[in-house]
Each structure stands twice: as structure tokens, then as C-alpha cells.
Amino acid sequence: VNKLRHRGKWNARPRDAANLAQWLSWTYERPLSWQVVDIDAPLAELCDAPVLYISGAGACEFTAAQTDKLRDYVLRGGLIISEAAANSAEFTLDMQECCRSMFPDAALTPLGKDHPLLAGPGAADSLGGAVAVDNGIRPLVIHSPMELSGSLQMGYDRGDARSNAIYEALARIYLYSTDNG
């Protein structure tokens, strides 16, 4: 799992990606790691992982070159998962604009409760109105306008059903993006 460093508040919850990677490793008994990659790093660094996690609280404006790099990452098989830390409406609007720039012919559509990625108890509710850009074959970008990182920061199995559902929903998305690998 790669966590993207970008201009703005990208690291409001510094242990979110680490906790998710650790939980996935324990749960699926497979070694999994995470790293921070900079938006201006070479494309090859972004392609180190099948999932690029973008968190943000506040403005997040990507340059045209950065948007092109994100598009290239997705077109090479990667999946972008973004979330609005602290339920940041400004970040959500900026991510919607980024998606429109990357894929002008594709619309952000709600991930309904019947979507295979959200199968399971509480998954659709846990991702808080998630939307996706889909090319008809697979999701390319998934964005949650509700904060996920707070639950990831706190860890799994604290007796919090919503937090546990977030972990489980993100696990399904990760497994989907790696063909259950």
C-alpha cells in the first residue's frame, strides 16, 4: 500500500496506512508493507503497490503533470482510494475535480450497497457514501467523503463495529485490486 504525500494536509493520521497494512498481513497471513510516496516521485515508485491511498484534510490541488501521473498509475493497473480526513468537503471537491481531469469521459458514481466491493454487513455504510470512477471493467478511483483514517489510526477490534467494517471493506477492495493475491 502506498500513501501519497502531496501539498496540503496529507498526514492527519500518521498510522492509518501502517495499521491497515499490518492488519491485512495478520488477517490474510501474507506479508504486506506500506510506504509513503511523494506526488513528484517517478511513476515507477507509485507503481510499487497496487493501491495508492490518498488522504487529505483541506485543499489538495494537483498540477497537470501530477494528474497525468495519477492517471498513468491507474491505467497501469493501480487503484486509487481516497478519503476526506475530518470529513473535509474541500478535499472531496478537489478529488472530484482531479477525477474529472484524469477521466473526463467517466463520471463519479455512487457505490451502491449491491456493488460487489461493498458486500458484507456494514460495508456500504462504513465507507460513507463512497463514489467511484469505473471504466466498465474495474473501479479506477474510489473516494469516501467521510473520514476513514481516524478508524484506521485507532486500530481494528476496539469493539467499534463501524471501525471494524471500515477495515473489512478496505480489505475487500485491496483483495479485489490484487485479484485476491
**Model pTM score:** 0.94
Percentage of the chain lying above the pLDDT 90 cut: 73
CA 151 to each of CA 24, 59, 109, 162: distance values in angstroms, whole numbers, following the listed order? 15, 22, 24, 8
Q: Are 2 and 46 in contact (CB under 8 A)?
A: yes
- pLDDT one-digit tens code per residue, 27-54: 999 999 999 999 999 999 999 999 999 9
Q: What ranges make up the beta strands (E) of 2-148?
A: 2-5, 35-38, 51-56, 79-84, 108-110, 131-134, 139-144
- pLDDT one-digit tens code per residue, 113-142: 777 777 666 565 667 689 999 998 899 999
* The pLDDT value given to residue 117: 75
